[in-house]
Amino acid sequence: MFKRFYPGSYMDSTYDISFEALKNQGICGVLFDVDNTLVPHDAPADERAKTLFRHLREIGMETCLLSNNKEPRVKRFAEEVGTRYIYKSGKPSRKGYWKAMERMGTDCRSTVFVGDQLFTDIWGANRTGMKSILVKPINPKEEIQIVLKRVPEKIVLWFYRRRYDRTGSR
């Protein structure tokens, strides 16, 4: 019942992901949500985020931010880390995902999405047919509309863990 919301992988942090391993699996493009995926909500790019994007460029991976936030927030962050961006993307609509892949020159088979929300980030990536990685939110302090979504997310994640913690993978 909840499988459409299940991530391909679930990690503690974006910064724990082995992008080299993904590259070796044929992934050449990474889409990221910004807030609570790369930095706390509304925070500027920190040194860790800048280093990550520099590293991804060095290993030859394309990147793009895909956010439902407004342009000033997303543009400022994108400029700080040196990547493309799409604002007001309408996640979980597939339209923004396709537009981002077009900008990167990738397709569903060679792209992964990294985000902190099941019902926007992961569901949209899954609907588009790409790999998805759910990360734990960086900061538990969030806007009320996100806090309200976290309750049903906990239910979905309970079923996800129950199913995949036994097998070790999805």
Q: What is the mean pLDDT of the chain?
A: 90
pLDDT of residue 94: 97
Report d(CA 39, CA 44) in Å as an integer.
Answer: 7
The pTM of this model reads 0.88
Enclosing H/E stretch for 72: helix 71-81
Report d(CA 145, CA 147) in Å as an integer.
Answer: 6
Give the number of other Cβ atoms within 10 Å of residue 23's Cβ: 15
pLDDT tens digits along 47-64: 999 999 999 999 999 999
pLDDT tens digits along 129-158: 999 999 999 976 666 666 667 667 877 787
Instruction: Give Cβ neighbours of residue 6 (< 8 Å, ≥ 6 apart).
Output: 122, 126, 156, 160, 164, 170
Which structural domains are found in the chain, ordered by start? 3-167 (3.40.50.1000)
